[in-house]
Amino acid sequence: MTTARRDTYTPETLLAVAVRIFNERGYDGTSMEHLSKAAGISKSSIYHHVAGKEELLRRAVSRALDGLFEILGEEHARVGRAVDRLEYVTRRMVGVLTAELPYVTLLLRVRGNTATEQWALERRREFDHEVAELFKAAVADGDLRADVEVRLATRLLFGMINSIVEWYRPGGRGMDDEQIAEAVVHLAFAGLRTEE
């Protein structure tokens, strides 16, 4: 790597490059060589920052997962009627997805071939479970219709939210994250509520 530029990376900025390449090539399809070329620094410089590509993956998906789990700890997710807490969580999920787009995109593509991927899938399941529990509580309160099975409804709601990564580009096309969150909530909840 005679063309390698001086290593001015921090763990954070190196992570941003790695996540871009993971999303482009897939995690399995990315080698340390690819990362080294994309970052313009030598492999040994990368090893100065991290133990290897799996550590980069872990840091990247942790950033997405931390963003999601933080939501559950927020006041509006903990206090109030379950249906309102669920709406709040939905809105905030869109916010985390758009704010941390490459990290959430990577998280959603994790397949489970390594220990880190298995761990990420497990954490995603925990998050989904928490949201499904909120859903159940809202049905028990009589605020959400009982004729749509909770697991199916949760999957469709998550499917709708997660599909946003396929087309959302920050700053693009005049559609901001609040408009999108509003549309998701309208679509899902005005439909699922027993009455308005």
- Tokens matching residue 88: 């709040």
x-or-dash string of contact with a copy of itself, 89-128, rule CB under 8 A: ----------------------------------------
Question: How far apart are the C-alpha atoms of 27 and 110, rounded to whole Å?
Answer: 8
x-or-dash string of contact with a copy of itself, 15-34, rule CB under 8 A: -----------x--x-----
Greatest Cα pair distance, the chain, in angstroms, is 67
**Any bridge partners for residue 193, and if so which?**
144
Q: For residue 168, give Cα distances in angstroms to 31, 107, 109, 159, 172.
A: 27, 16, 16, 15, 8
Q: Which of residues 156-185 bind a copy of itself (CB under 8 A)?
A: 156-160, 162-164, 166-167, 175, 179-180, 182-184
- Tokens matching residue 5: 């530029």
79 binds a copy of itself (CB under 8 A): no
186 binds a copy of itself (CB under 8 A): yes
- Tokens matching residue 176: 């901001």
Shortest spacing between CB 163 and a copy of itself, in angstroms: 2
146 binds a copy of itself (CB under 8 A): no
Amino acid identity of residue 59, one-letter, is R
Which residues in this chain contact a copy of itself in the complex, by CB under 8 A?
26, 29, 145, 147-149, 152-153, 155-160, 162-164, 166-167, 175, 179-180, 182-184, 186-192
